[in-house]
């Protein structure tokens, strides 16, 4: 395997949605997730991780060392029990070597008969939060086809002409997510520079191959990456995140042009480098 990264990274990822539901809440009849107190939109870390995994599956075609552990139809205990190694640490290393998402996000591997403990991954995402309150729009939709013979007879008798359903969307919202890459934890899973570049690429392309009518238009808008020269870091992440500011240009934002995203590169702390996509290449 490639050598693990030696630097710590902190990053800010901004993306938007137009006329779509970026992350429905099953506890709220699949309405777009929102903070109950201030009504700002939310997208869970798990949602974005799923999109990263899906992109890696498409690009690397489930071939080691870029296979994906958490995916549909995968029987996790079977994978865990088949891992080679006489110790928990050996099994963890062998699984991390094969699976990109274990190297990146970590995994709970204690469910099999053998068990392999728990791996804490070097990459962590926060919930994404919209810059402003969102409006959870609900739309009635109809279809001319029916599901059952009984419905077909009702349609013939003109009791009703079509079946009804509901669709929920956010008219427009800009979301902000913070992320962290630990060089300390990367050394444990052997998360490499190649893995890191694939992570940036996956974030930028996360929505490109995940289109669905329910999600509307989703696009990445800015990725600001702060690289520390030291493995422990050269500045507090919160202070670096404060350098990424979003200014609203309209009282009712409906496009990316209604916001200005700025990254302050002046007077950077010693040992900090910053790259900003799309102005600069990051992979």
Q: What are residue 13's DSSP bridge partners? A: 177, 223
Whether residues 37 and 123 fall in one domain: yes
Whether residues 202 and 73 fall in one domain: yes
Whether the Cβ atoms of residue 272 and residue 228 lie closer than 8 Å to each other: yes
pLDDT score recorded for residue 160: 57
147-152-157-163 Cα dihedral, nearest 10 degrees: 20
**Cα distances (angstroms) measured from residue 205 to each of 9, 69, 175, 258:** 20, 20, 16, 23
Whether residues 158 and 260 fall in one domain: no
Whether residues 122 and 148 fall in one domain: no
Instruction: Evaluate whether residue 282 is within a structural domain.
Output: no
Mean pLDDT in consecutive groups of 10 residues from the start of the chain, 283 residues = 92 98 94 97 98 98 97 93 90 96 96 88 98 92 80 67 80 98 98 98 97 94 97 98 98 97 98 98 96
End position of a domain, from candidates 145, 167, 189: 167
Whether the Cβ atoms of residue 123 and residue 179 lie closer than 8 Å to each other: yes
Whether residues 163 and 244 fall in one domain: no
Whether residues 220 and 186 fall in one domain: yes
pLDDT score recorded for residue 115: 80
Whether residues 207 and 151 fall in one domain: no
Instruction: Evaluate whether residue 94 is within a structural domain.
Output: yes
Whether residues 144 and 235 fall in one domain: no
pLDDT score recorded for residue 162: 66
Whether residues 101 and 187 fall in one domain: yes
The pTM assigned to this predicted structure is 0.93
Number of domains making up the chain: 2
Whether residues 180 and 259 fall in one domain: yes
Q: Which domain holds residue 144?
A: 137-167
Whether residues 189 and 49 fall in one domain: yes
């Amino acid at each position: 395997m490639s050598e693990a990264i030696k630097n710590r990274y902190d990053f800010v990822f901004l993306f938007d949605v137009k006329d779509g539901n970026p992350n429905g809440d099953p506890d709220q009849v699949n309405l777009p997730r929102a903070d109950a107190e201030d009504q700002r939109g939310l997208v869970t870390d798990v949602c974005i991780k799923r999109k990263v995994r899906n992109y890696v599956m498409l690009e690397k075609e489930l071939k080691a060392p870029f296979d994906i552990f958490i995916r549909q139809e995968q029987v996790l205990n079977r994978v865990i029990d088949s891992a080679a190694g006489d110790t928990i640490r050996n099994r963890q290393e062998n699984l991390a070597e094969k699976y990109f998402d274990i190297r990146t996000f970590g995994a709970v591997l204690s469910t099999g008969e053998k068990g392999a403990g728990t791996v804490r991954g070097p990459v962590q995402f926060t919930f994404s939060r919209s810059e402003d309150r969102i409006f959870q729009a609900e739309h009635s939709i109809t279809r001319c086809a029916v599901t059952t013979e009984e419905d077909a007879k009702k349609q013939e008798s003109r009791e009703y002409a079509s079946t009804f359903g509901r669709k929920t969307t956010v008219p427009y919202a800009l979301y902000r997510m913070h992320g962290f890459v630990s060089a300390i934890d990367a050394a444990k899973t052997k998360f490499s520079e190649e893995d890191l570049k694939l992570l940036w690429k996956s974030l930028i392309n996360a929505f490109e191959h995940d289109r669905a009518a329910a999600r509307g238009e989703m696009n990445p808008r800015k990725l600001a990456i702060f690289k520390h020269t030291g493995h422990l870091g050269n500045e507090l992440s919160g202070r670096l995140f404060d350098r990424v500011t979003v200014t609203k240009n309209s009282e009712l934002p409906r496009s990316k042009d209604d916001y200005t995203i700025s990254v302050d590169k002046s007077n950077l702390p010693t040992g900090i480098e910053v790259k900003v996509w799309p102005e600069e290449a990051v992979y």
